[in-house]
Amino acid sequence: MRLFVGLGNPGAKYAGNRHNIGFMAVDRIAADHGFSPWRKGFHGLVSEGRLGLEKVLLLKPETFMNLSGQSVQAAVSFHKLALNEVTVFHDELDLSPGRIKAKMGGGHAGHNGLRSIHAHLGEAYGRVRLGIGHPGHKDAVAAYVLHDFSKADADWLEPLLAGISDGAVALAGGDAARFLTLVALRTTPPKAKPPEKAAPPATAAPERPAEPGADDAARTPLQKLMDRFR
């Protein structure tokens, strides 16, 4: 079994925030892959389904971001999961908008949701880092992450979420490289090939003039005689 955790803050007030891109990612997986309706569980909302051969539990903690570890620990303990069976989707300030990276283990880089999970479970779990860009100054970070995505952000956000859904089966199967490849096919589609140059029109070879007497053998004696009087 796999546990996919999306990080965010509960309630309509926060639904469109940059900080809630983790919620958006697991919502998209649930919708596209026929998961069960969301229900209360483990201090959050859970949805169950299958991705390929793997049974997967999706979790959106409702403890607010800073206490996400309480919810994740409850799910991990109940299902007796190893940390390498847990993947957390979260916003990443250090990646430009629309970029994505996957990793296993490592630090929390100051992310309060990850910090809470570290405190409850340690750091040896997987995470999918979803780039939202940086406001440019650390004092602006709080307001930036708690602000809604702009309309212009939809140009990269929608392909990113679609790619995450496309690659979810690979991620559940442990193939992070293929997961990232399938995301990239949505976010950076292959460049169109330039049109091939049309071949120049074929030109007919000039007709060679008939050699004198070339068809004399085919003419009758009478025709040859008449030619003398023309």
Interatomic CA distance for residues 214 and 26, integer angstroms: 87
| Count of beta carbons in the 10 Å neighbourhood of residue 153 | 17
Identify the DSSP state of 189: P
Determine the 3-state secondary structure of 230 from DSSP.
Answer: coil
Helices (H), the chain: 21-32, 68-79, 112-121, 141-145, 154-172, 176-187, 221-227
**Residue of 19, 33, 90, 111 marked catalytic:** 19
Distance of CA 109 to the CA centre of its chain: 23
Interatomic CA distance for residues 63 and 76, integer angstroms: 16
Interatomic CA distance for residues 17 and 180, integer angstroms: 24
Q: Which amino acid is at 56?
A: V
The backbone torsions φ and ψ at residue 51, rounded to the nearest 5 degrees and listed phi first, read -125, 105
Structure tokens at 62: 């409702």
| Count of beta carbons in the 10 Å neighbourhood of residue 64 | 17
Q: Which amino acid is at 221?
A: P
| Vertex 171 angle, CA 165 and 92, to 5° | 75
Q: Would residue 90 show up in a list of annotated catalytic residues for this protein?
A: no
Give catalytic residue positions: 19
